[in-house]
């Protein structure tokens, strides 16, 4: 399921069956057919092509956000979880403060300061997502820092940084990858929601969220304009949810 939509999104970066911006008054609100698989919208644009472009934007934004947040979470969580102390207390209070706000609301606040646009959206979501990765990584490093093999590594004179990223980090991947998949889900929903509200990716670029916003006024006339991006979001989120569940079960069996 995930691979299919990811493939469509990757292909959409380089090619779409029709132009995603060119209007055609002669083909307004055409129903799904072999020529237009998902029909056309109120400007005569091919909905399937726009879904492909929207998938591309969603995948790029979500992947960038999760990569930035995960890398920051690994570094911060590893050092705070392993060494503890005053730094750990400060970082945990900051993460508590960030988590006290609903993620969408906090993103809205940051975007109101930075302004709308793709780069600011990525930066805002990355800031909001970092605390969740920090907590997960920190918890795993606290759990493993007193394990027998870590104690033996210290006795052998292994440095702290090597212990963090060579001895402990590989042993948390089964848990970490589950959080990454969940992070993808959250990033997809957040990006779609913000674009739906008109503060994410701006027109004429298509995203699944702003396609929903544009089509909601035509639900009775052309339901395919809403169903195509809406079901694509559901399909993508469900695919990542099943993928995260499979990774979690596989990790539990290996443990």
The string of DSSP letters for 47-95 reads HHHHHHHHHHHHHHHHHHHHHHHHHHHHHHHHHHHHH-HHHHHHHHHHH
Answer whether 4's CB lies under 8 Å from 232's CB: no
Q: Considering only CA atoms, which of 224, 125, 248 is closest in space to residue 176? A: 248
Nearest to residue 121, comparing CAs of 129, 25, 212, 73? 129
Q: Does 251 score more than 70 pLDDT?
A: no
Q: How many CB atoms lie within 10 A of CB 245?
A: 12
Tell me, what's the pLDDT at 65? 95
Average pLDDT over residues 167-185: 88
Tokens of 47: 């909905």
Q: What is the pLDDT of residue 23?
A: 87
User: What local confidence, expressed as pLDDT, does residue 20 receive?
Assistant: 87
Tens-place pLDDT, residues 111-151: 888 877 788 889 999 999 999 999 999 999 999 988 888 88
Describe the chain by its helix, strand, coil percentages, rounded to 5: 75, 0, 25
Max Cα distance, the chain (Å): 77
Confidence tier at 253 by pLDDT (50, 70, 90): low
State how far the alpha carbon of 17 is from the alpha carbons of 10, 43, 49, 56, in Å. 14, 16, 6, 14
Q: What's the first-to-final CA gap in the chain, in angstroms? A: 27
Question: Are residues 185 and 237 in contact, defined by beta-carbon separation less than 8 angstroms?
Answer: yes
pLDDT in tens, 37-94: 999 998 899 999 999 999 999 999 999 999 999 999 999 999 999 888 888 899 999 8
CA distance 81 to 88: 7
Helix (H) or strand (E) holding 41: none
In tens, the pLDDT along 97-112 reads 888 888 888 888 888 8
- pLDDT for 111: 85
Quote the DSSP letter at residue 167: I
- Over the chain, what is the mean pLDDT? 88
Report the distance separating Cα 155 and Cα 176, nearest Å: 28
179: which 2 tokens? 């959080």
Backbone angles phi, psi at 46, to 5 degrees: -70, 120
Per-residue pLDDT band at 254 (split at 50, 70, 90): low
Q: What is the pLDDT of residue 97?
A: 86
Taking Cα atoms as reference points, which of 45, 94, 59 lies closest to residue 73?
94
What's the pLDDT at 252?
Answer: 58
Residues 61 and 67: their CA atoms lie apart, in Å, by 10
11-30 per-position pLDDT tens digit? 998 999 998 888 888 889 99
Q: Is the pLDDT of residue 172 over 80?
A: yes
Please enumerate in sequence order all residues whose Cβ is within 8 A of that of 96, keeping only pairs 6 or more positions apart, or say none: none
Question: Is pLDDT above 90 for 216?
Answer: no
């Amino acid at each position: 399921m995930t691979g299919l939509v990811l493939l469509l999104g990757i292909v959409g970066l380089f090619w779409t069956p029709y132009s995603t911006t060119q209007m055609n008054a002669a083909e307004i609100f055409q129903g799904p057919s072999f020529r237009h698989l998902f029909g056309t919208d109120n400007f005569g644009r091919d909905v399937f092509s726009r879904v492909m472009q929207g998938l591309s934007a969603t995948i790029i934004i979500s992947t960038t956000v999760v990569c930035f947040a995960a890398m920051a979470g690994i570094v911060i969580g590893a050092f705070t979880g392993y060494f503890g102390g005053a730094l750990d207390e400060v970082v945990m209070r900051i993460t508590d403060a960030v988590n006290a706000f609903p993620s969408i609301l906090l993103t809205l606040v940051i975007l109101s300061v930075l302004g709308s646009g793709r780069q600011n959206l990525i930066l805002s979501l990355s800031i909001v997502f970092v605390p969740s990765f920090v907590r997960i990584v920190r918890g795993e490093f606290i759990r493993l820092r007193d394990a027998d093999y870590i104690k033996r590594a210290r006795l052998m004179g292994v440095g702290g940084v090597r212990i963090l990223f060579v001895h402990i980090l590989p042993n948390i991947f089964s848990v970490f990858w589950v959080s990454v998949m969940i992070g993808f889900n959250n990033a997809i929903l957040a990006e779609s929601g913000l674009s739906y509200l008109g503060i994410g990716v701006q027109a004429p670029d298509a995203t699944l969220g702003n396609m929903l916003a544009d089509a909601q006024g035509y639900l009775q006339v052309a339901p395919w304009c809403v169903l195509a991006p809406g079901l694509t979001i559901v399909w993508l989120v469900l695919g990542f949810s099943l993928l995260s569940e499979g990774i979690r079960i596989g990790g539990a069996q290996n443990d």
